[in-house]
Amino acid sequence: MNRLDYDGLVESWKVDLIISRAKRMGFRCDEMEDLQQELILDVMHFRYDTAKSNGATETTALIALIDNRLKKLRRSETRYRAHLERLAVERKRAYASTPSECWVNDVREAVEFLPMREYMVCCLLGRGYSKLQIANALGCGWHTVDRLMRRIRKHLLALGLDETAHD
């Protein structure tokens, strides 16, 4: 788990709180650095006021702030993925007249809309890298690469892009 260091700008327990709340909400380990950067400014600007707290501790108030921001990020991510899937389906319909060419274009476009890490896995797979070579190139374990590959396959299957559909 990468915990970013903010050189005294933010207490370390607050950064740890961001990480623990994100884990609890189901965010993946490879998303933690981005989440910390997204939330750190909100945490830095947070000022605990006993008079306005209704008896809540600083930690409880900070948890509420972090949880609300994480929920907002999750909703935004869900809307974005749904939008991309709708676009992919629309493009698939538009190219339906030439199935083999359509399939290649759909795969290319579906891969372009993947998160960066999954996109990198696809690129390295296209170059003929093995799981271990990809893991070394990305600086992670082969289990992570395997998980990313399953996620990519699930994404492509959800879009109707499997090898049996276009033979």
CATH of the domain at 164: 1.10.10.10
pTM (two decimals): 0.53
Question: Do residues 15 and 60 share a domain?
Answer: yes
Reported as a pLDDT band with limits 50, 70 and 90, residue 69 is very high
Assess if residue 135 is contained within a domain.
yes
The confidence band for 24, taking pLDDT boundaries of 50, 70 and 90, is: very high
Whole domain around residue 167: which residue ranges? 95-167
d(CA 120, CA 126): 10
Instruction: Answer with the residue of higher pLDDT: 131 or 2.
Output: 131
Domain termination residue (choose one: 78, 106, 136): 78
Q: What is the pLDDT of residue 31?
A: 87
Nearest to residue 162, comparing CAs of 125, 84, 101, 153? Answer: 153
49 band by pLDDT with thresholds 50, 70 and 90: confident
Res 63: pLDDT:
93
pLDDT at 111: 79
Residue 90, domain member (yes or no): no
Residue 64 has pLDDT above 70, yes or no: yes
8 A C-beta contact, residue 17 and residue 59: yes
Q: What pLDDT does 96 receive?
A: 56
Beta-carbon contacts of 58 under 8 Å, excluding residues fewer than 6 positions away, are 48
If one counts the domains in the chain, the total is 2
Per residue in 83-141, pLDDT (tens digit) is 888 887 777 666 555 555 555 566 777 777 788 888 889 889 888 999 999 999 888 89
Q: Which of 28-37, 56-65, 106-115 has the highest mean pLDDT?
A: 56-65
Q: Are 68 and 2 within one domain?
A: yes
